[in-house]
Amino acid sequence: MSLDIPAIRKETPGSESVLHFNNAGTGLMPRPVLDAITDHLTLEAMIGGYEAHHKSDHLYSDTYSAIEELIGAKPGEIALQENATRAWDQVFYGMKLRPGDRIIADQASYASSYIAMLQRVKNDGIIIDAIPNDSYGQMDLELLDQRITSRTRLICATHIPTNSGLVNPASKIGSVARKHGVPYVLDACQSVGQVPVNVDDIGCDFLSGTGRKYLRGPRGTGFLYVRTASIDLIEPPFLDLHAAVWTKMNEYEMRPDSSRFENWEGYVAGKIGLGRAVRYLLDLGPEQTFARISTLATALRNQLREINGVTVHDIGVVMGGICTFSHNKTKAVEIKAELDRQKINVQLSHPEWSRLDAETRDLPVMIRASVHYYNTEDEINRFCENIAQICKG
């Protein structure tokens, strides 16, 4: 069954007012997600926050079930978080690392993750083994296999980076991790909602995701997946009365499942909205939505390459919906400013957001245009016409 794009756009209020090619930043929420959030906020205002949570507990609980279904997780393996960075931090800062221990990073590492690694280098004396890309632009699997030592404690991989269309071979990375018996955390911030994700196929022990990007959920929502068999490899960096039970005057017990990585207070309406966003995607079909994203992104790259002076910087064997490009005369900041005036949403991609990749490939500040399945061919045509006009001089 093909996607009914007119119906989807009718359920996407923002599509009427902007040309939105900033889905790698935040996707436009569909009406059912917006309604789920506002309905709960209204309920909180009318009867109180605790009471509203109790009354809507079935919706809140379904968020866990929906995420489990989307990524192939088992009950008790999902912890709701405020964003993907904090979810990833739960794993990384929860690892017991000693001086001389080694962690694997990829060239696509996001700044927030790599800064955390550098902090533990400074404070704990660990060593980072950064794996270069292969000739196709993806994580070099042969080098990964060779770099793992008896002191390697964690493989940190990025499924889809912030600054290109690359889709890293996450399942092949998982095969190497299993071969060596090394825990594996996958940054799926840009991939969940964009490409089909199944944790068993990937073979990761941990996975972090966000609600606001390709899932089209609200800001301030995310989740952490922790494989049941791997839960004791990490300890939550902090605990509260939700994550643990105060059993005796001087004793406590952590919850037995991934809820130990949560805390008591949170954005209940947003988490309900996140669940509704996941259900929306499940109803459409992740394979179908990714097929359309891929088709649109390919068309966008092809048209951009036809514009004089434009360089498309995307790499990889498999590419997703993120397209990054620059012009040899017109600065990215100038292009974005003009697009803003025309109500066309894009984002700047700065080298410091992904410094390993940017410095290796000598990347400039780029325009990041990221498409979603609700975008259209006409929008791509209009976008590229505007880029050609802006860069004409």
Give the model confidence (pLDDT) of 51-109 as tens digits: 999 999 999 999 999 999 999 999 999 999 999 999 999 999 999 999 999 999 999 99
Task: State CA 368 to chain mean position distance.
Answer: 15
Q: Which residues 6+ apart lie within 8 Å of 16 measured at CB? A: 9
Helix (H) or strand (E) holding 350: none
pLDDT of residue 328: 96
Q: Which residues 6+ apart lie within 8 Å of 355 measured at CB? A: 111, 114
SS3 63: helix
Residue 393 has pLDDT above 70, yes or no: no
* pLDDT mean over 140-161: 98
pLDDT of residue 27: 98
**Overall pTM surpassing 0.75 (yes/no):** yes
- Measured CA to CA, the distance from residue 325 to residue 369 in angstroms comes to 8
- Measured CA to CA, the distance from residue 286 to residue 273 in angstroms comes to 18
**Chain segment 157-170, per-residue pLDDT in tens:** 999 999 999 999 99
Q: Which residues 6+ apart lie within 8 Å of 52 measured at CB? A: 40, 43, 44, 46, 268
Phi, psi of 48, rounded to the nearest 5 degrees: 105, 150
Phi, psi of 62, rounded to the nearest 5 degrees: -70, -20
- 5-29+285-390: CATH topology is Aspartate Aminotransferase, domain 1 (3.90.1150)
* C-alpha pair distances (Å), 234 with each of 74, 106, 117, 294: 18, 21, 16, 36
Q: Provide the residue ranges of all domains of the chain, joining segments of one domain with +.
A: 5-29+285-390, 32-283
- Measured CA to CA, the distance from residue 216 to residue 33 in angstroms comes to 8
- Measured CA to CA, the distance from residue 384 to residue 391 in angstroms comes to 10
Confidence tier at 348 by pLDDT (50, 70, 90)? very high
Confidence tier at 143 by pLDDT (50, 70, 90)? very high
Kindly state the tokens that stand for 307: 């514009």
First to last CA, the chain: 45
Contact 348/366 with Cβ under 8 angstroms? yes
Contact 384/307 with Cβ under 8 angstroms? yes
* pLDDT mean over 186-205: 98
- Measured CA to CA, the distance from residue 78 to residue 316 in angstroms comes to 30
Q: What is the CATH number of domain 32-283?
A: 3.40.640.10
* pLDDT mean over 187-209: 98
Residue 299 has pLDDT above 90, yes or no: yes
> What DSSP letter does each residue of 255-293 carry, written as one string?
-SSGGGG--S---HHHHHHHHHHHHHHHHH-HHHHHHHH
What is the average pLDDT value for the chain, to the nearest integer?
97
pLDDT of residue 277: 98
How do beta strands 322-327 and 310-312 pair?
antiparallel
pLDDT of residue 1: 65
**Chain segment 44-53, per-residue pLDDT in tens:** 999 999 999 9
Provide the percentage of residues in the chain whose pLDDT is more than 90.
99
Helix (H) or strand (E) holding 60: helix 57-71
